[in-house]
A and B are shown apart, each in its own frame.
Chain A
Amino acid sequence: MISWWSVVFHDQFEGQTGYLKYDVDSGMSLGVFFEDGTQPSGEYSYTTIETDVLPPEWA
């Protein structure tokens, strides 16, 4: 089962929000995305705001 989490980015993407795609069954993160569905490049930091949110429209 896939779960979506909301996240806020830090460092060079400070303040931007996005999503983390999480595989509940395996416990693995499947990727981090900005609000528009693109993925950050390079190194980045983020913090989970909330787990089990509604999936983004582009998902």
Chain B
Amino acid sequence: MPANMNPIFSKVGDIQSGGAILGPTATTAQDGTGAGVASVYQADATNGGFVKAIRFQSAGSPATTVARVFISSVTGTFTPGTSNAVTNTWLVAEITLLTTTLSQTAAAPTYELPLNLPLPPGYRICVSFGTSTGAAGTGYVVTVFGGKY
């Protein structure tokens, strides 16, 4: 008999971000390795969680790049370039982010990538960029929308 016959719902919303601005560090690897892989979300340490989508909002005037989204099983401290390895961090999605010019009159585009993934306790969503996003302080605010089980 299945262990759970009932659908599972989040008990509380969970929105996390990787910090103020991600970039301009770039990592070309698609295998989960590299110093430019940043953790932007960690599921509830006890019950796990559900991530609905990840959103990229430009900051400054970033160059064209690709954002890569990974799932990582690193439940402890995450040190980019050290914690993430081929065996624990896996590419699940990519999205092209086009050149954006900062304006005070025209809105910059918001890029949203649906995920709809259940995450085991402590698992992470990580992000890297394929090329530099530009000068220091230029990049993307990356926010993950989900819920805690």
Query: In the complex, what residue of chain A is closest to B28 when comparing beta carbons?
Result: A43
Interface majority SS (helix, strand, loop, mixed), chain A: strand
Distance in Å from the Cβ of B66 to the closest Cβ of chain A?
Answer: 11
- Set B33, B81, B134: member contacting A48, Cβ < 8 A: B134
Residues of chain B with a CB closer than 8 A to A29's CB: 63-65, 131-132
Q: Give a binary string over A41-57; 1 marks a CB under 8 Å from any B CB, 0 the rest.
A: 00111111111000000
Q: How large is the interface on B (under 10, 10 to 19, 20 to 34, 35 or more residues)?
A: 20 to 34
Whether A11 and B81, one on each chain, are in contact in the complex, defined by CB atoms closer than 8 angstroms, is: yes
Interface majority SS (helix, strand, loop, mixed), chain B: loop
Does B47 interact with chain A (Cβ within 8 Å)? no
A42 to B135, CA, bound (A): 24
Does B48 interact with chain A (Cβ within 8 Å)? no
A46 to B130, CA, bound (A): 10
Whether B135 and A50, one on each chain, are in contact in the complex, defined by CB atoms closer than 8 angstroms, is: yes
Does B146 interact with chain A (Cβ within 8 Å)? no
Interface residues of B in 105-149 (CB under 8 A from A): 131-136
Given A10-B35, A10-B81, A26-B99, A47 and B132 touching (CB < 8 A)? yes
Does A5 interact with chain B (Cβ within 8 Å)? yes
Whether B34 and A11, one on each chain, are in contact in the complex, defined by CB atoms closer than 8 angstroms, is: yes
Distance in Å from the Cβ of B129 to the closest Cβ of chain A?
Answer: 10
Whether B136 and A48, one on each chain, are in contact in the complex, defined by CB atoms closer than 8 angstroms, is: yes
